Amino acid sequence: MEGSSTATMGRDEPRLVPRRRLLPGIALVVVLAAALVLPQLTTNQFYIHLANLMLLNSIFAVSLGLIASVGQISLGHAAFVAAGAYVSALAALSFKLPPILGIVLAGLVTGLAAVLLGKILLRLRGVYFVLVTFLAGQVFTLIVLNWESVTHGANGLLGIPAISIFGLPLSTRLRFYYFALAAFIIVVTFVWALMRSQYGRAFRSIAENVRLAESSGIDVSHYQVVAFALGSGIAGAAGAAMVHYIRFLSPDSFTFNDSIAYITMLVVGGRHTMIGGVLGALFLTPLPELLRGFVGAQHIIYGVILLCVLLFIPNGLVSIGRSFFGKGSETETPK
């Protein structure tokens, strides 16, 4: 009887959940709440534009994080962003395809290209993969520069139409903001669900130990190609959305420096978590503007800030929240 009573009490007791496990959800709720409130707080068009860039950069960082989740870092990520932009821009200018369909087409084309490239490039690992993706990005830039009959070379593409939904053109910064926010929510939700599926578990196993994953029966090549294709496809679609926002595209729009910027966002935020890429983008995108007043020293200050983050917060900004949530008592939730 006593044993039965004890067992019953054990079943009725609340289950304890570490606070730190609540961090990603809380952080995303805070980010989304702030994003929804932002347009009500300011009418300054520059701030709305900056918010648009923060949302788009967050998508770029999350898409790169998806590739990094299988232990690979691409130095040619900006090439997929640019490829998606060119696909959608040319579809709209040459074939009069609605921009919203061009964005979908851009995601499909870049994703398919990543599958074909991935089957070749992902045979390489570590620094060799990094170097080859860098070379692939440079080759893409040369193709864009020299294929003038299609891309207009260094002169770029002008007159790219704005996105239109149900006849409503997203030609203002505020209208595009809500579109970018919706796209951000869709991408984050998709990646969040993916990383909690069988694919996500396989991704983490591969990132932790490729040899062990192979010996456990995981098809490493398959999962790496899937991650590479999905990450590149999302980047291509986001690049297409950006070009319909900026309305101009040239080889200088997305360069190797942008690839480095996406990697920096991922590392500064915390490359082992999805929310890390978002935090890195939200932190680094407005930073140059905040430092604009320090004429002649802004690049030095920017570099010092990055160096301090990397030295004193090696696991990224997300680790600050984890440290806080990992301390103290645990949060109780009903079973």
Q: Based on DSSP, count helices (H) and strands (E) in the chain, helices before strands.
A: 16, 4
Residue 304 CA to residue 318 CA, distance in Å, equals: 20
Residue 322 is predicted with a pLDDT of: 65
pTM over 0.85: yes
Residue 333 is predicted with a pLDDT of: 37
Tell me the one-letter amino acid at 240.
Answer: A
Residue 325 CA to residue 328 CA, distance in Å, equals: 8
Residue 22 is predicted with a pLDDT of: 62
Residue 124 is predicted with a pLDDT of: 83
Residue with tokens 């860098």: 134
Cα separations in angstroms, 128 against 124, 183, 207: 6, 33, 16
Q: Is residue 56 within 8 Å of 113, Cβ to Cβ?
A: no
CA dihedral for 85, 91, 96, 100, sign (positive or negative)? negative
Q: Which residues of the chain have pLDDT under 50?
A: 1-2, 4-17, 327-335
Residue 27 is predicted with a pLDDT of: 66
Residue 1 is predicted with a pLDDT of: 47
Residue 326 is predicted with a pLDDT of: 53
What are the E-state strand segments in 5-61?
15-17
Q: What CATH number labels 21-328?
A: 1.10.3470
Tell me the one-letter amino acid at 262.
Answer: Y
pLDDT tens by residue, 256-268: 999 999 999 999 9
Residue 38 is predicted with a pLDDT of: 79
Q: For the chain, which residues make up each domain, given as ranges?
A: 21-328
Of 256, 53, 253, 255, the closest CA to residue 156 belongs to: 253
Of 231, 226, 224, the closest CA to residue 206 belongs to: 224
